[in-house]
Structure 1
Amino acid sequence: MNIVYLIGMLLAVFFVGFGIVVDLGADSWLNLDALKLFLDPASALIVLGGTFAVVVACYPKQVRSIVSHFRIMLHTKTFDPEKYIDELTELAQIARKNGLLALEERANQQEDPFFKQAIMLIVDATDPDRVRSILTNDIEQTSERHGEVIAMYERGSNAAPAFGMVGTLIGLIKMLFNLEAADMSSIGPNMGVALITTFYGSLLAHVLFNPIAANLAARDEEEVVCREIILEGIMAIQSGENPKFLRERLLTFMNQKQRDRGAGNGKKAKRGQGQNDQAQ
């Protein structure tokens, strides 16, 4: 679970709400009645309805999968490079010992369809250039589809403040047309109501759409890295590369902290395998 995202959203809502109700100059430093000033159904309808309409009009296919987007965003361990490196190292050892055909059983056990496809391509003795071409194209097309989803939320982030300004203009126009017959003391409150839509638009853009787009972009980067690891690992296995050198090469896709942890896990696995061999 992406706890950091949830904490960030809760803190954003808390600080905005706290900033609204805090009043240090009054007898009671919390003025909960101030929240009523920021509740305006018409303004919410303009911003939420207008933004949603633009997003649906621009991205009719992607908007159908909003629920799955949240599920992907809230899971942080969907793509773990260390897991793929360990698996590829193990596959390299099996291939060197028993040949590429021995990997077919392991391919059927894979939950990741890309990983399964990559293994089956070398099991079927596909030409190495064709294997690389197929897998590279798969990575590029997947990333492009992810980019369209990210662009949808970025579009929402741009549309929300725009509709906030539209709502503000509507409020100002109505106020100016009624200015001659209006009481001068009502200008301030009417101006405040007119500005609420701008507040809603900014809040929607920076608290909802921008964080979602950023988190989905991070998930896309993680998936691309893992698929590139699979691609390089599969090509190395097909060429018969030493599992030890393969692991060292795949670790270069990770940052230094992850490399140290991955190298440590590799040494533990190697020691455990050696102890099992001695026991046998």
Structure 2
Amino acid sequence: MDITTLIGLLIGLAALAGGYLWDGGHLDALIVPSAMLIVFGGTIGAVIVSFPRSQLSQFGKALSMAFKEHRRDPRESIEELVDMAAIARREGVLALENRAQEHEDPFLKDALMMVVDGTDPELTRQILELEIDAVEHQHEGWAKIFEAAGGYAPTMGIIGTVMGLIHVLGNLSDPGSLGPAIAVAFAATLYGVASANVIYLPIASKIKIRSQLQITEMELMLEGILALQAGENPQLIKKKLYSFIHAPHKTTAESAGEARGEED
């Protein structure tokens, strides 16, 4: 689990509640069931209307992506690809067949099997790029669900507030109750704006960042597989693949090894 997502949500909600309590407020005044029903129920309804069932059925996967750590360090993928490139250069790509069949990453497994089967490099690239595009498109759809919720929630909050004010103005016989009634009406606006900016939109951003990391790793694997298939020098492959990640990941020993590889 990615603890930063949970910590961020808790800090955001705690800051809102803490600021309210600091000024002498009471938490029970923020709990307004009718406003919750209007805002959260209305937001859920609007999202359901906006997206097809096939996309909504993946809501759990989308939420899971925001709370789960990235699968693996890209440096591990690089080292693995470099190791396989050395084996392929020394023994041939057929030597990777068993390793390909047992690999846990479905994308890399499919890529390796295409190389072992002797698939044309250009066709291999086309197929893998289509897979990457499909994954990226899927992740964009997941993020759009939360972005839509972040857009609808504040509007539902305003609607709830207007409905509350209509109720208040329709019962002016008791002026002493106007203040508390208006405060209750504005709770809907609070729910809408707070949920959009503390929950929905940040989760959408997290999904996009997670997607970028995964797509970058898949592109890294793609280039590594094609270089392996072309029989390139393993050290040159390492240098090429490290361009996909930040320079600080490289160690002095790795840089020295790459320099020796280029000299060879």
Q: TM-score if structure 2 supplies the norm length?
A: 0.91
Would you say 1:4 and 2:10 are equivalent positions?
A: no
| Other-structure match for 2:135 | 142
Are the aligned partners of 1:46 and 1:167 in contact in 2 as well (CA < 8 Å)?
yes
5 Å matches for 1:265-280? none
- AA at the equivalent of 2:64: R
1:109 to 80, 94, 102: 102
| Other-structure match for 2:19 | 19
Change in 2 beyond 3 A, CA 1:266/1:119: farther
Deviation at 1:62, TM superposition (A): 2.9
Q: Which runs of 5+ in 2 are unaligned?
A: 258-264
Where 2:146 maps in the other structure, the secondary structure is helix
Deviation at 1:185, TM superposition (A): 2.8
2:147 to 132, 140, 154: 154
- For 2:43 and 2:26, how far apart are their aligned partners in 1? 26
| Other-structure match for 1:211 | 202
**Count of residue pairs the alignment pairs up:** 258
Where 2:118 maps in the other structure, the secondary structure is coil
1:52 to 44, 60, 76: 44
Would you say 1:66 and 2:49 are equivalent positions?
A: no
Deviation at 1:267, TM superposition (A): 6.9
Q: Which runs of 5+ in 1 are unaligned?
A: 24-30, 269-280
| Other-structure match for 2:163 | 170
Change in 2 beyond 3 A, CA 1:5/1:57: same
| Other-structure match for 2:219 | 228
Question: Which digits, 9 at most, give the CA deviation of each residue in 1:196-223, with x for residues without a partner?
Answer: 1000001111121112111111110011
Where 1:253 maps in the other structure, the secondary structure is coil
1:120 to 102, 110, 113: 113
| Identical amino acids, percent of aligned pairs | 36
| Other-structure match for 1:34 | 26
What do you get for the CA RMSD once the two structures are aligned?
Answer: 2.0
- For 1:3 and 1:184, how far apart are their aligned partners in 2? 49
Q: TM-score if structure 1 supplies the norm length?
A: 0.86
- For 2:253 and 2:7, how far apart are their aligned partners in 1? 32
Question: Which digits, 9 at most, give the CA deviation of each residue in 1:109-133, with x for residues without a partner?
Answer: 2111110011111111111111111
